Amino acid sequence: MYGNMKPVVAGTLSKNSSLAVLANVIKGTGSSNAWWRSIAEQNPPDHVSCQILQRLLGDRPLGNVAFRLWNGQSWPQEAGERAATVVLTRPSSLREMLLPGSETGIGEAYLDSAFEVEGDFEAAFELADRIMEISNGWTRKLDVGRLLNQLPPPPAPPAKIDNRARLDGNHHSLERDRKAVNFHYDVSNDFYALWLGRQMAYSCAYFQNPEDDLETAQENKFEHICRKLSLRPGDRFLDIGCGWGGLIIHAARNYGIQAEGITLSPEQLRYARERIEEAGLSGRVSVRLQDYRELPEEPAFDAVASVGMVEHVGRKNLPVYFRKILSLLKPGGLFLNHGIGSGPVGLPGKSGSFIQDYVFPDSELIPIGEMNRFAEEQSWEVRDVENLRLHYAQTLRHWIGRLEMRRQEALRFVNDRTYRIWRLYMAGCAHNFQTGRLAIYQTLLAKFDAKGLSRAPVVRDNWYWGRIGPANLRGIEARE
């Protein structure tokens, strides 16, 4: 699959947030080092930093987040035990975080170690939420701007490793989409393996029980998809954006089908082929390097899945996407479209550029209503829509915990800035799924046959109960 976590931190660190607006008001009024040194004698940076925090947050203390300054001083002083501690690592920290006036500026301050987060990184996003609630009154903004300019400028940075995506060509052209996918997925299979788990499944898991471990929940997800597609022995199944091959291996092993996968990542292709051979499925499962737009328009498949890929398609290409997949299915066939959209709360403001620059260049989130309208305009029938957002929040917590626990191993495969990008990104994802800013939708679409029918079931019972494999189609098993 191409990916399943898109521009989601942007909503929490929006360029339209009060914090960013505040910084835009005061940017351009910076001070020289000499001016600051004279001010610092009268207003030590630790005092100024505490004043800024008091002005921004003092009227309503945060419940989950405390601050610790570079000199060990805490704010608020009586903070007590909190889920997360934001550590300002140097006198210029708040200036680096707020003065750029953008989501990217805050993210880059973390990448540059201007602040650290100890404890629950997801809980620390309470701070960003509070900033967005703060009044936009001119008095407060100008007052905080004045204080920010009393902090010292940041230290001269060392030579930086440039982690930004720098793509050329037309948006969502074949060549540019390949570059975008390669930027994200060809980082290191070893890095992903540290935290994705045994199945190397980079999409929302499915927790049938709260105590399910990640491996169990990912197997549940594969099975959930196979049941929705009503797979049967002898079917021909296509996975568009197949990632490291987990879904097609599960489907072939448990449903007796012929499975094909396509990806744009050479690293994923190599890994998936190795797994298929190790599983003894080379005769029934194949993967190739191919864009969905390059597939021949022949009704060759009984079922198609696209898991975490549609976010890379782009709004302008959605008609092509749905039309192409319709042409690949036999009459009566089913298509499961699994992708992120905005949740009931929605993302405030416009998406910023941190995710575009550092994580998923050119990705787009399309609301579910608009997504399904595009599908219906290409003659698809929408049979079912399921929102798995709380499953994704839990998946992300597993990923974050594994990444943090294996940080030293991760640094063997990626640099520290890449590690920080992923820790920040996934914590923001978990927060936005948990709070309803984002949702993850599985939409089951059907292609009519000549009688207006499809293989989609009339009831959903067999999707949720029963054994793995096609046996579950024969009846519902008792469940405590």
What is the helix (H) or strand (E) element at residue 88, kind and residue range? strand 84-88
Asked if residues 84 and 117 have their Cβ atoms less than 8 Å apart, the reply is: yes
Contact 81, 61 (CB under 8 A): no
Residue closest to 189 by CA, chosen among 123, 107, 271: 271
**Burial class, 1, CB count within 10 angstroms (exposed 0-12 / middle 13-18 / buried 19+):** buried
Look at the chain and count its residues.
480
Containing H/E element for 387?
strand 381-387
Cα torsion angle, 263, 264, 265, 270, sign: positive
Residue 137 contacts by C-beta under 8 Å, 6 or more apart in sequence?
none
Q: How far is CA 344 from CA 7, 71, 368, 375, in A?
A: 16, 42, 11, 21
Rg, C-alpha atoms of the chain: 24
Catalytic residues, which ones? 429
**8 Å CB contact between 8 and 393:** no
Helix (H) / strand (E) element for 191: namely: helix 189-196
